[in-house]
Structure 1
Amino acid sequence: MVTEKFTWKIENFSKLDSEECSDIFHIGGHSWALFIYPTGNDTDYLSFSLFFVERDLPDDWCIFANFNLALINQVNGKRTITKGFAHTFNARDYEWHWPDFIPLVELRNSTSGFIVNDTCILEAEMAVVKPEHVTQADQVVCKPTLPKQLSMSSDGELADFLSFGKIEKTFIPLLKQVCLLHPSLIDCQQKRSRRFKEWAFTALGQVLHFLKSRKVKDMDADACGHLQLLWEELQTFNFDLTWLQPHIQSALSMKGYIEKAVHLKTMKENLATLEMETKSLKEKIFTAEVDLTVARRDLAKGGLEEKDLDAELAYGGP
């Protein structure tokens, strides 16, 4: 396992918008990108996200990474802040987020040493483990046992979406429809980078496509788990999703409905079985009662003269 490093020198830090994306860097034979949120991501902390940016991989791909991110103190190296994690990236989970790396007040303090000459320096150090070296516990995450119907079922063909970038063609009619109804979806992404917009609207398209292509009967535990992951991923892109949340909640609640429906179906089947058994028993009772009546009648007609069974048999002698 070889450790590699990527250094990101961010100049004109004070002029950054709500988010900035690094150049794509390559570690472990794969492509990655860092996002920094210099004004926080709905928090009062400096926030980061690490994205795995490759998509043309098998559905069951997985990559295990040990990652350290350092915010360099340019005045006193001993005060450099380093945070690390170990994570398995896969088709359903291709990002890692630090919402509270360092308080913004401390970051912006002119004496703290993290921003010098309006420049901030980050160092990302990563070791990528090949799938065959992933532990058994991680393999559970690597190859989720999702039923076939949970695949995205789109053909993967890309097309331009409102000059925001390349989006899967299957998603575009759905995205256009909701963007007309909810213009804030577009407005909130105007200042984002092109790459961020592609990811954001792809995430939204995945959720819309899921809701459009699934039926109530499909919402078993696996389907609900898959939708929950898509929904959590979509929420990281800061859309106003208050209009969509009730539909997500309704879809996720179908798991309980399906379980009750299955239980009710089982109860009905059991009831039908009991009714058939009861009918069979009634027929047997009726037959037995008829046989009993006939036996009593035959017994009454027998006319048998009673004899002393202990008496001696005669042979005609004295």
Structure 2
Amino acid sequence: MMRILLYPHGVEKNYLSIYLSCGDSSFLPTGCWSKIAKYKLTLKNYYYCGKDKTLEGEYEFSSGKHRSSGYSSFITLTEFHDRNKGFLVNDTYTIVAEVCVENDGHRHPNDNHIMSLVTGNNNDELMDFKGLCRVRKDFVQLLEEACSKHPELVRGVKRKNWSENFTERWFMTLGRVLHFLKSHKDIKDMDDDTYEELQDLWEQLNSFGFDDLIWLEDDVKKYMAKKMRKNVDLEGEKGEFLKVELRLCHLVNSGQYGLV
């Protein structure tokens, strides 16, 4: 069983470090052994097709050697954390390892194991969505309904020519917003943490730079307005302040701007 070892702050200063390891010894052959493995380590790019960062290597794993191989200086932390580079999006990144073990006549059940690490997603819970990407199964119906009512969603994604990974992240974030709104229709049951969750989700969705979301923005604003109404204390300065905020929200929604 091969594993990915990741050092987000680097082994060498200012670099992301990634290694391939033999993993748990219970999966390894007993006695003296050796295996020559060819491998690729890839840091996926969410923004740009063909801009993944890939390094290849070959290493002889054996009972008498250090059981990991990789790169202490895979990519600079500056480039990795640069939001415009496309490697780290919404605090999420994807690393894929492809491994080919040469057969020496003593084949082990875990030879030629191809391993991928996709942050936050279980492939068993994902399914194809319109041939564009894979999304969570519980988001599919919500996304289908949204795309049926607003066909500009699919057209806009195709027009932007995003990578499959970036498209997946966008549809997953949209699915989370839709799922949230469906699951929290009763504002009386909401607390401040849940309200902040919606704000965070909406900010994440807007960070992708997709313009055709006016229909959803209206729903989110209505929800936030309801939350303000719930919190209005009609006595004291707090109540007066919140009533002013609510009035401003109404002005913005009606296309008017000003102070009350």
State the TM-score, normalizing by the size of structure 1: 0.38
Q: Which has the larger radius of gyration?
A: 1
TM-score, normalisation: structure 2: 0.46
